[in-house]
Amino acid sequence: MCYRVERECEVDEVLWRFLEIEFQKEKEKKKSGAGEWEKLLEEIKELSADRLREHIRKFAERKQNGSPIFPWTVGYRENESYRQIKRWVYADVDIERLYTCGIDPNKVSMKADLIKARGNLNKFAKCYAHKYPEFEPREVPVEKQVIFGIKKEETDKNGTIELLDGAHRTVAMLRNGDTRSKGFTGIIGK
């Protein structure tokens, strides 16, 4: 099995965990001053669930960063993929079964290598990651070993869960020999 459900969770928990990780990444890169993720966390900390999702939706529209997590959690503009999600679960995930549709759209050679790997991150990590400096082997702190994905039944990719966020951490974990990670998985349903 590609994942073992530990518990069901609400989309708000998925969003909070994603935002916390983005904030930590921003904090590590930036030496001083509040960044956009820190400002967002400050703005939403007292909001009700409905207002939280609406605020994050507006942020996603303003930011336009292309993060696939937003369409699957809150939707924005014309993309309302979140309506396909029946439930979110927190699960123990077999990261060798993860696939992605893209990591960096600006790198044509990386896209070609992902196509050769049929999107499978394990194959990409083993066969192609060494070609890209951003995938140099590195330790991934336990608190960041979290994936965000969507369980899809039928796909032309080599995997069963589409990774929405965390490709760099997942490739690093795979290169370190890790095979499982905790993560949030959206289950598509009718």
8 Å CB contact between 190 and 86: yes
Does the residue 2 lie in any domain? no
Same domain, 95 and 69: no
Does the residue 147 lie in any domain? yes
8 Å CB contact between 129 and 135: yes
Same domain, 78 and 153: no
Does the residue 4 lie in any domain? no
Same domain, 66 and 47: yes
Tell me which DSSP letter residue 176 carries.
T
For the stretch 8-18, pLDDT in tens is: 999 999 999 99
> How far is Cα 9 from Cα 55, in angstroms, rounded to an integer?
20
Angle between helix 49-63 and 36-44 (nearest 10): 160
What is the DSSP pairing of strand 3-9 with strand 161-165? Answer: unpaired
Does pLDDT of 144 surpass 90?
Answer: no
Same domain, 102 and 180: yes
Residue whose C-alpha is closest to residue 88's, from 12, 179, 175, 11: 11
Same domain, 98 and 182: yes
8 Å CB contact between 53 and 16: no
Does the residue 3 lie in any domain? no
- CA geometry: angle at 184 spanning 154 and 19, to 5°? 125
Total domains present in the chain: 2
Of 18, 52, 83, which residue sits at a domain end? 83
User: What is the domain extent for residue 73?
Assistant: 10-83
Same domain, 37 and 98: no
Of 83, 110, 136, which residue sits at a domain end? 83
Same domain, 48 and 124: no
Average pLDDT over residues 132-157: 82
Residue 159's CATH number: 3.90.1530
- Inter-CA distances, 8 with 11, 86, 88, 89, 91, Å: 10, 11, 6, 4, 9
Same domain, 95 and 147: yes
For the stretch 64-117, pLDDT in tens is: 666 788 899 998 878 889 999 999 999 999 999 999 988 877 777 889 999 999
CA dihedral 42, 91, 116, 105 (to 10 degrees): -10
Same domain, 166 and 156: yes
The pLDDT value given to residue 34: 62
Record the tokens describing residue 53, joined without a space. Answer: 């999702």
Same domain, 136 and 157: yes
Same domain, 95 and 169: yes
Helix or strand or coil: residue 105?
Answer: coil
> Cα dihedral sign for 47, 48, 50, 53?
positive
Does the residue 61 lie in any domain? yes
For the stretch 43-67, pLDDT in tens is: 888 888 889 899 888 888 887 666 7
